[in-house]
Structure 1
Amino acid sequence: MHHRTPGAGGNPLRRDADRSRARLRATFMLACLLAVICGVAVGRSAWTDASRAAAEIARHRSPVTAVTVGSTTYRAGSGPGTRPVPVAPATWRDTSHRVHTETVPVPAATRNGATVRLWIDGKGNATTAPPGTADIAVNAISLGIGASAGIALAAGAVVYVRQRVVDARSGRAWESEWESVEPRWSGRLRPGQGGADD
């Protein structure tokens, strides 16, 4: 059987297809290792960039204490299916001691005259808090996992397609070899073969 490789010290039953499958498995393992390395690199880069951006944002924002000057109402959420956001009018002084009054998000059931903590921008207007360490970490981990998964899935798809090709070739080789071996092995004659033909 010409697809067997009886090399020195090798398994005489090991076929070219078996070696191809072993190479494909090794390739996939290497691709998974590469995926992990790339995922760590992407996550680390995302962490560094987001931390730098958060530090820059934090330089232009500051926390203040505001006092509500009205009752709590609810504003529609940012998108369909999101919960309404409790808001109330509040007043505060910015870093230049100017008075500002805006409707800002507050905890539910906040009463008139209650104090709330909020963040303001360089002009003293209410804004969101700068991204925290937890938000940065979640984003970096998500990007790293996404990169790893993308590389692993792409490698898996390529290996899967190549494996199917190897399996198809192996099946055809087996059929061809079996056609030449089966008549002798089973003792049946092929069409056109006389009793004296061996």
Structure 2
Amino acid sequence: MSGRRTGRLAGRPTDRAEDAIAWLLCTLGLFAVLIAVLVGRQLYSCGLDQARYEAASRSPIRATLLEDAVRASVTTDGAPTTVRALANWTGPDGVDRSGAVAVPEDARAGTVVDAWADRDGSIVPRPALASDAIVRGVLLAGLLLATMLALLRLAWTGARAVIATRNSAAWEREWAAVEPEWRRTA
């Protein structure tokens, strides 16, 4: 046996570099999945905590409209963006209050609508749901993972372009050395 290496490890230095870069990028890809999962779990946990806090600090109320709904603004397609009307309600603290609430566009004075109030009786948006936390965690983790994988793909494409350029230059040098010898024997 001559001790000469054969196989992929005996190839050009660029082949070994390409293999090393592929292994590195695959490893980074696995870390990207792990990071995305951990970030998604953290976002879900924070969203769930927020939903629990809002559920504990907000109460559903019934508000009675004191006037017909008024279109506050209109989108370019004519659909209302905000419809508010003056209403009164009893807050969770038992105090009667009044103010503007979001209502359906065709709501008339005297209509009873559902709304949410904080502990002080002020109108607030509905509390977040657990499903909102799930959606937020999954979507943002997916976006993060897609971004990281796109960057890894970009790195792989760049590395392949550099390696191809170096291989092409090496092939040209090798051909320049072999071609005159080949012509003489042909």
Give your verdict on TM over 0.5: yes
Unpaired segments of 5 or more residues in structure 1? 1-5, 190-198
Determine the structure 2 residue equivalent to 1:195.
Answer: none
Determine the structure 2 residue equivalent to 1:7.
Answer: 5
- For the residues of structure 1 that align with 2:131 and 2:9, how far apart are their CA atoms? 58
How does the TM-score come out when normalised to structure 2? Answer: 0.84
- Structure number with bigger Rg: 1
Matched to 2:177, the amino acid is S
- Give 1:51-90 correspondences, 5 Å limit: 51-76=48-73, 83-90=80-87
Determine the structure 2 residue equivalent to 1:3.
Answer: none
C-alpha contact 1:87 1:105 (8 A) present in aligned 2:
yes
Per-residue Cα deviation, 1:30-62 (whole angstroms, up to 9, x for no partner): 222221211111000000011112212222111
Q: CA RMSD in A?
A: 2.6
Structure 2 residue 39 is the aligned partner of structure 1 residue 42: yes
Q: Give the match's secondary structure for 2:32.
A: helix
Size of the alignment, in residue pairs? 181
Matched to 1:160, the amino acid is T
Q: Give the match's secondary structure for 2:105.
A: coil
C-alpha distance 7-120 of structure 1, shift in aligned 2 (>3 A):
same
Identity rate, percent: 26
C-alpha distance 133-185 of structure 1, shift in aligned 2 (>3 A):
same
Match for 1:101 among 98, 102, 109? 98
- For the residues of structure 2 that align with 1:36 and 1:99, how far apart are their CA atoms? 52
C-alpha distance 16-35 of structure 1, shift in aligned 2 (>3 A):
same
Determine the structure 1 residue equivalent to 2:107.
Answer: 110
- For the residues of structure 1 that align with 2:131 and 2:55, how far apart are their CA atoms? 15
Determine the structure 2 residue equivalent to 1:119.
Answer: 116
Q: Give the match's secondary structure for 1:76.
A: strand
Structure 2 residue 148 is the aligned partner of structure 1 residue 151: yes
Report the CA distance between 1:13 and its aligned residue.
8.6
Matched to 1:97, the amino acid is G
Report the CA distance between 1:16 and its aligned residue.
3.0
Match for 1:163 among 151, 160, 165? 160
Structure 1 ranges of 4+ moved more than 6 A: none
Unpaired segments of 5 or more residues in structure 2? none
C-alpha contact 1:24 1:163 (8 A) present in aligned 2:
no
Q: Of Structure 1 and Structure 2, which has the larger fraction of its residues in strand?
A: 2
C-alpha contact 2:68 2:107 (8 A) present in aligned 1:
yes
- For the residues of structure 1 that align with 2:144 and 2:135, how far apart are their CA atoms? 14
Matched to 2:49, the amino acid is R
Q: Of Structure 1 and Structure 2, which has the larger fraction of its residues in helix?
A: 2
Report the CA distance between 1:188 and its aligned residue.
8.1
C-alpha contact 1:31 1:151 (8 A) present in aligned 2:
no
